Copies of this chain bind each other. A is one copy, B any other.
């Protein structure tokens, strides 16, 4: 049995990824995930609310790093620059999480339920950035527009990232900003 809660959590994540790949998302049960991870099903539900959450465990950390980057920025930064700062701060997480993120993306693509959860998760992340911008006194509508266009630019960069070197993401994000400028010139 895993000794710590954090260790159990990591094992549950790994077990879920492996089983979803091997048997498919629909055919896998939380009991099977728990068994593969060497814990009880009750432990599974202590860590994750349902069968989908186990795939989105990195979201909390991502959100914390990104909102902290906005909160700690120097006074004079404009909304779009703050959003970019948030994504830049998360680069180490994206780079470290890349192999798992690619496996997860392939699993999510197989299930409508997972796609819905993924959309909700990215909406929640965008909302957290909006809240962090609003906390700095930026009006909510401007904050929302900056966070949503920022998310679009990040997705653009992230898709172009495939097949390139791990460190390329940051410059792809800068390039996406130029592309948005060119689109709306």
- Please measure, in the bound complex, the distance between the C-alpha atom of A153 and the C-alpha atom of B146, giving whole angstroms: 10
The 6 A-B residue pairs with the shortest CB-CB distance, nearest first, are A148-B152, A119-B119, A116-B116, A80-B183, A116-B120, A145-B156
* Interface size of A in residues (CB-CB distance below 8 Å): 32
Q: How far is the CA of A106 from the CA of B135 in the complex (A)?
A: 25
A149 at the interface (CB under 8 A from B): yes
Interface of A is mostly: helix
Residue A179, interface by CB 8 Å:
yes
Interface flag for A181 (CB, 8 Å): yes
Q: Number of copies of this chain in the oligomer?
A: 2
**Residues of A151-165 contacting chain B, CB below 8 A:** 151-153, 155-156, 159-160
On chain B, the residues within 8 Å of A183 by CB distance are 78-80, 142, 145-146, 149
Across the interface, name the chain B residue whose C-beta is closest to A146: B183
Task: Indicate with 1 or 0, residue by residue over A100-135, a CB within 8 angstroms of chain B CB atoms.
Answer: 000000000000100111011001000000000000
Name A residues whose Cβ lies closer than 8 Å to a Cβ of B: 78-80, 112, 115-117, 119-120, 123, 141-142, 144-146, 148-149, 151-153, 155-156, 159-160, 176-177, 179-181, 183-185
Write out the residue numbers on chain B whose beta carbons fall within 8 Å of the beta carbon of A120.
112, 115-116, 119
Q: Are B179 and A145 in contact (CB under 8 A)?
A: yes
Min CB distance A122 to B, Å, is: 8
What are 18 A-B pairs at a CB distance below 8 A? A78-B183, A80-B183, A116-B120, A141-B156, A141-B160, A144-B159, A145-B152, A145-B153, A145-B176, A146-B183, A148-B148, A148-B156, A149-B152, A149-B184, A152-B152, A177-B184, A181-B185, A184-B184
